[in-house]
Amino acid sequence: MKTRPVPSLALLSAVTALAFCGLHMIVPALPLLVVVFDDSPARVQLVLSLYLAGIAVGQLVYGPASDRFGRRPVLLAGLATFLVGTALCGLAWSLAALIAGRVLQALGACAGIVLARAIIRDVYDREAAARGLALVMMAMTLAPAISPAFGAYLAEWFGWRAIFALLGGLGTIVFVATVMRLGETNRNPAPLDLAGMAGAYAVLLRSPIFIAFALCSACTSASWFTFIASAPHLLSDALGQPPSTYGLMILMPMATYMAGNALTARFAQRVGSLRLLLGGRALAFTAALVLALWSGSAALSVWTLFLPIALAEIGDGMTQPALMAAALSLHPRLAGTASGLMGFLQMAAASVGSFAVALLPYNNAFGLVAVFGGFVALGLGAAIFAVSRSVRGGPPVIASATAPAAEGT
């Protein structure tokens, strides 16, 4: 009897990181695209917003498709779609063509996010799977941290099309490596059970506590993407800063997010995930108030933007692992479906938030403060509701948190 092929964890990490490189590398160049295509910031924002929407849709599609047709062919199809979309972006003759390419990029790259986790579950036992997932999660954290700097300097030195040349090269390397090194790991394909899927979603959506946890997670992601959607424009339009300023300054909130992850990993067993969840959302709400008060009482500056967000990201880093642990524990037999649904809601809310903030002017921070603060406040309210219902008599929630999902990252 043949044993299942053991895939390279480095390859699976690269497959996962590709989607987040594609997401974040273009962000510093968004103000430049407004000038290049002579269009409104709101329309240019669709380059980011519809990429997030594509990832949201893919979260619901790739898992069932790979269960039916196998991991390898579905992953290769996704990577090929990413390459086609990247080529269209690099050759884009209009903003509409660029947006269409970005949607294809997202629909293709999302395969790596979903299927890397499924492949690890296919071939590793519990302890090895934990190590594998930790490595993949690291890639999900590092890729968004370094990608903006690459994108910023490429746009400054060589023009915005160079970003897609780099993404195309990275995507080609990952595609070839996948063809050569990744075998099929799903040895027992399952028929598509649409009725069963609908029933599982119905169970989750009838749970007020799950909805509250999922809403909190979605608002947390949306608040972050609201910031990264607006910060490059504020730096360019209001402060006259080049793209590289965003590429470098974004490292600060990325680092504090990882610090929040570390706090959850360190204190979850001792304090409990629900207390960490409330503490994280309260910290993010405090940061939103600081951002509003500082922006309203002092001249806008780089530090006015990034220091409050860095504080908020400590809270977000504490929140997301605790949220995932709490939500998935409510219906353990539906953990996979719950994870996919939460991923969809995270990216869908992020897409809405990133587009909503683009409808407001960028000559001051009012739009950012309003949309960011609104999502943070709604997330805090959802967290309080979920925790209070859980403590009063909802299903038990585990007291420890595992490796964080990239905030969308």
Binning pLDDT at 50, 70 and 90, where does residue 41 land?
confident
Task: Examine the domain organization and report whether 236 and 336 are in the same domain.
Answer: yes
Task: Examine the domain organization and report whether 235 and 351 are in the same domain.
Answer: yes
CATH number at residue 22: 1.20.1250.20
Lowest mean pLDDT segment, chosen from 121-135, 277-291, 347-361:
121-135
223-232 average pLDDT score: 91
Task: Examine the domain organization and report whether 103 and 163 are in the same domain.
Answer: yes
Task: Examine the domain organization and report whether 161 and 215 are in the same domain.
Answer: no
Give the C-alpha separation, 232 to 234, whole Å. 6
| pTM of the full structure | 0.82
Asked if residues 345 and 217 have their Cβ atoms less than 8 Å apart, the reply is yes
Residue 25 has pLDDT above 70, yes or no: yes
Binning pLDDT at 50, 70 and 90, where does residue 406 land?
very low
Asked if residues 321 and 388 have their Cβ atoms less than 8 Å apart, the reply is no
Last residue of a domain, one of 116, 149, 183: 183
What are the start-end ranges of the H helices in 70-94?
71-90
Task: Examine the domain organization and report whether 387 and 265 are in the same domain.
Answer: yes
Task: Examine the domain organization and report whether 84 and 166 are in the same domain.
Answer: yes
Task: Examine the domain organization and report whether 265 and 392 are in the same domain.
Answer: yes
Tell me the residue range of the domain where 391 lies.
206-403
Is residue 48 assigned to a domain? yes
Last residue of a domain, one of 149, 183, 217: 183
What are 85-112's pLDDT values in tens digits?
999 999 999 999 999 999 999 999 988 8
Last residue of a domain, one of 183, 214, 235: 183
pLDDT of residue 192: 67
How far does the chain reach from its first CA to its final CA, in angstroms? Answer: 40
Total domains, the chain:
2
- State the Rg of the chain over Cα: 20
Q: Residue 234 has what DSSP assignment?
A: I
Task: Examine the domain organization and report whether 178 and 218 are in the same domain.
Answer: no
Task: Examine the domain organization and report whether 156 and 237 are in the same domain.
Answer: no
Is residue 2 assigned to a domain? no
Q: Which residue has the higher pLDDT, 175 or 145?
A: 175
